[in-house]
Amino acid sequence: MGFIKHNNTQYKDKTTVTVSAGDTAIFEIDRSNKVWEKLEGDETNGFKDTEVNLSDLINSAESWRQRASDLLVIGSKWIVGSSIWIVEKRVEHTSGEDRLHVHMKCVSIVGVPEIGIAGTRAVREPLGGYEGDVFNPNKHCGAAYYNVCRLNIATIRPVRRDTEVIELGIQSQVYNKASGLCNFNDIPSPAKLFKLDKKDINVSTGRMDKYFQRSSCFSIWVRPVQKYGQAKAPFVRMPQVFCVQGSAPITQNNYLRIRPRTAGFMNTG
C-alpha cells in the first residue's frame, strides 16, 4: 500500500513530487493475494515443488491492510513529510480487482513542500524491489520513505490574565513491538542438527515477541491572542523539535514550561 497518484497523475515507479495546499493524492491499499500465490509457484523467485509457502506473510499483510483501512477514515488528518493531509473520501474497487483508494487533500504546508509517491509497482507487485539478486531502486521505498503519520493538534490558551509562563503536560505511550521473531538462542548447533536429521527428527525454531525503542516527535507553534479590532496574528513555529522516546507500553508523563519573550495573552498549538 502507498501513494500511487498525485493531482490525477499516476506514477509507476517511486517518485518525489512537490506539493502545495489544495493538491490531491490517492493512497491505495491493494488487498489482492493473487500476486503472492503466483510468486509461490514461480520457478526463479518462488518455492515451487517445496513445502515452503507464504501463508504467514499473507496473513500478516492482511492484518496490516485492515489496520490501515480502519485508521484512514473520512475526516482524519495525516502528516506526510512536512505537509498536512485530510481524508476526503474512500472508493472501493471490486470489479476485477480488490483495491481501496483513499482520496486525500493537502490542507497545509509546514516545511519542505514534497512527498514521496511509492508508485503502482511498489504497491501492487511483491518483493518490493528485491527480485532475486537484482535490486531495483526505482521500486524499493524503504521503511522511512515519506511515512503517513497520524496528526493530532492541541491548542492551549491562558484565560483572563497575562502570561509569564505556560506549562503543559504530555501523557504518552511510545514503543514498537516485533512479533514472531526467531529465537536464535534456541537453535541447536550444526552437529546436533545433523544427528537429529539422521534420526528423521523435525526441529522448529522458537518464536518470541520483543519491544524496541520508538520516537515520537512534535513541534510547538505560538501566536499572540487576537485583540479587538486587530488582525489575527499567524502562528510561528518554535525552532526546537521535541521528542518522546520509549521502548515499552508504559505511560510516560512529561511537561514543558514555555516563557514568552513578551508578556501577554498567548496561544500555543
The more confident residue out of 252 and 206 is: 252
Q: Is the pTM of this model over 0.75?
A: no
Do 254 and 191 share a structural domain? yes
In this structure, what C-alpha cell is assigned to residue 187? 537453535
Do residues 143 and 176 both lie within one domain? no
Question: What total number of domains does the chain contain?
Answer: 2
Percent residues over pLDDT 70 in the chain = 84
Whether residue 35 is predicted with pLDDT greater than 80 in this model: the reply is: no
For residues 81 and 6, the answer to whether their CB atoms sit within 8 Å is: no
Q: How many CB atoms lie under 10 A from the CB of residue 241? A: 10
Secondary structure E strands in 190-258: 207-212, 214-218, 221-224, 236-237, 242-246, 252-258
Same domain, 134 and 180: no
107 is in which domain, residue-wise? 2-150
Q: Quickly list DSSP for 117-173.
A: E--HHHHHSTTTTEETTEE-TTT---TTSS-EEE-----B---SS-BS-EEEEEEE-
Q: 131 and 233: one domain? A: no
Whole-number pLDDT of residue 123: 86
Give the mean model confidence (pLDDT) for residues 20-35: 87
Same domain, 146 and 204: no
Residues 146 and 185 in one domain: no
Residue 128 sits in the same domain as residue 180: no
Q: Is residue 51 part of a domain?
A: yes
User: Which band of pLDDT confidence, cut at 50, 70 and 90, is reported for residue 159?
Assistant: low
- Cα angle for residues 207, 212, 214 (degrees, 5° grid): 145
Same domain, 19 and 115: yes
Query: Residue 161 domain-assigned?
Result: no
How does residue 20 score in pLDDT terms, banded at 50, 70 and 90? very high
pLDDT of amino acid 128: 62
Please indicate, yes or no, if residue 160 is contained in any of the structural domains.
no
Average pLDDT of the segment spanning 142-150: 86
Per-residue pLDDT tens over the stretch 187-246:
888 888 888 888 888 887 777 888 888 888 888 888 877 777 888 888 888 888 889 999
Checking if the pLDDT of 179 tops 80, the result is no
Among the listed ranges 31-40, 86-95, 209-218, which one has the minimum average pLDDT value?
31-40
> Does residue 21 share a domain with residue 139?
yes
Q: Model confidence at 3, in pLDDT bands (50, 70, 90)? A: very high
pLDDT in tens, 122-134: 888 776 656 556 6
Q: How confident is the model at residue 23 (pLDDT cuts 50, 70, 90)?
A: very high
What is the DSSP code (8-state) at residue 185? G
Of the ranges 2-11, 47-56, 152-161, 204-213, which is most confident?
Answer: 2-11
177 pLDDT band, cuts 50/70/90, is confident
DSSP 75-90: T-EEEETTEEEEEEEE
Q: Is residue 23 in a domain?
A: yes
Report which of residues 188 and 74 the model is more confident about: 74
Do 188 and 142 lie in one domain? The reply is: no
